[in-house]
Amino acid sequence: AQSVTQLDSQVPVFEEAPVELRCNYSSSVSVYLFWYVQYPNQGLQLLLKYLSGSTLVKGINGFEAEFNKSQTSFHLRKPSVHISDTAEYFCAVLNNFNKFYFGSGTKLNVKP
Amino acid sequence: GAVVSQHPSWVICKSGTSVKIECRSLDFQATTMFWYRQFPKQSLMLMATSNEGSKATYEQGVEKDKFLINHASLTLSTLTVTSAHPEDSSFYICSSRQGETQYFGPGTRLLVL
């Protein structure tokens, strides 16, 4: 079965520092990859997605992610975070059986 | 991206009553919508897939008689929590897929007293 692993449940970081949120998935076939952000008491907002093409994907709010097929990873990065980036981030995979799988989420806490 | 709305955003009800949550796709027609449940500090759990004009497909362990889903039109799916109990208190989120991408509603917080 498909699985999505976000190893870090919480990531504390100071404002203006860089951050990387890790995501690994298990699959031997092609997948589509997504990162979503969830602010408190809100639904999920699409940050970025990888469907095909360039492995470096740029999203909203200055985030980017790199698809690494050999390491089955899709880590999310931002070179300089803001207080407003404090939220929970979910990695997701759509596999070739047309089913979405979510990671357990990483809570990003940006400190002043 | 596509816009999905949910109503209500908050609902508090007494134990034993039924609650209906609406999910609308505002700018595209959705033959399929998804209903998720999210417990505090946890990821989303897919409850069911709502299909326009036909019966919903429920995930294993989800009671279809407890969580009634109706997808009567291409823009509206409803989830009714019947005879709600305190353990049904949760955050319910719907989504719709456009191509390969899922777009989520803002969620409905249900509190059953």
Q: Tell me if residue B88 falls in helix, strand or coil.
A: helix
Over the stretch B63-89, which tens digit does the pLDDT of each residue have? 999 999 999 888 899 999 999 999 999
* Confidence check: pLDDT of A6 > 90: yes
pLDDT at B98: 84
Alpha-carbon gap, residue A110 to B7, rounded angstroms = 31
Is B35 part of the contact surface with chain A (CB cutoff 8 Å)?
Answer: no
Cβ neighbour number for residue A97 with a 10 Å cutoff: 7
Q: In 3D, which of B33, B25, B19, B29 has the Cα closest to residue B71? A: B33
For residue range A34-57, what is the model confidence (pLDDT) as tens digits? 999 999 878 889 999 999 889 999
Cis peptide leading into B8, omega within 30 of 0?
A: yes
- The per-residue pLDDT for B42 is 80
Q: How confident is the model at residue A76 (pLDDT cuts 50, 70, 90)?
A: very high
- Region at B52 (left for phi over 0; alpha for psi -120 to 50; beta for the rest): beta
The answer to whether residue A50 neighbours chain B at the CB level (below 8 Å) is no
In chain A, the percentage of residues whose pLDDT exceeds 90 is 74
Contacts of A28 (CB under 8 A, 6+ apart): none
- Whether chain B has a CB inside 8 Å of the CB on A96: the answer is no
